[in-house]
Amino acid sequence: MTGSAPRPFFLDLRLFARCGRGASAVEFAMLLPLFLVLVFGIVVFGAYLTMVHSVQQLAAEAARSSVAGLSETERVSIAENYVTANAGSYPLLQPSHLTVSAATSGSDVFVVTVNYDASDSFIYTLPFVPAPTSTIARSAAIPFGGF
């Protein structure tokens, strides 16, 4: 007979071990979840840091503008009005989730605190990523002076 004899089993295993045709697909399948966690993590924490920065900017600008008030009541009103009027200019903040408290601390420092409830934000719906705390609180203090 001129047909070829069956190959021994161990030769087929060596050929299989050297074959690399499916290696890229297997490597991709193994690394894809890690890559997705990395990308989602960048998106989540980038958005979170943007919200923290926005809340801090609102508090700082509200404190600066409140210096124009002559009384405690007027300063509080100016700070609250500033946050209400300008919260819409920050794209990741929902103005209805902001709260403002302002008061004189000590004898010569006016402190504005802005709290933001971020629990309805899109970053808390993304899978595979640990979410940061949903309450953001930032303060800014302005000293009285010159009068």
Whole-prediction pTM value? 0.76
- CB atoms near residue 18 (< 10 Å): 7
pLDDT tens for 26-85 read 888 899 989 988 888 888 889 999 999 999 999 999 999 998 888 889 999 999 999 999
Domain segments of the chain: what residues? 23-143
Q: Does the pLDDT at position 146 exceed 60?
A: no
Distance (Å, rounded) from C-alpha 51 to C-alpha 64?
A: 20
Residue 36 confidence (pLDDT): 87
Distance (Å, rounded) from C-alpha 54 to C-alpha 87?
A: 9
Residue 87 confidence (pLDDT): 92
Q: For a pLDDT cut of 90, what percent of the chain falls above it?
A: 47
Residue 16 confidence (pLDDT): 62
More confident: 125 or 66? 66
Q: What is the 3-state secondary structure (H, E, C) of 48-79?
A: HHHHHHHHHHHHHHHHHHHCCCCCHHHHHHHH
Residue 12 confidence (pLDDT): 67
Distances (CA, A) of 9 to 4, 17, 78, 139: 15, 13, 85, 73
Q: Which DSSP state fits 107?
A: T
Beta bridge partners of 139: 113
Give the distance from CA 78 to its chain's centroid.
29
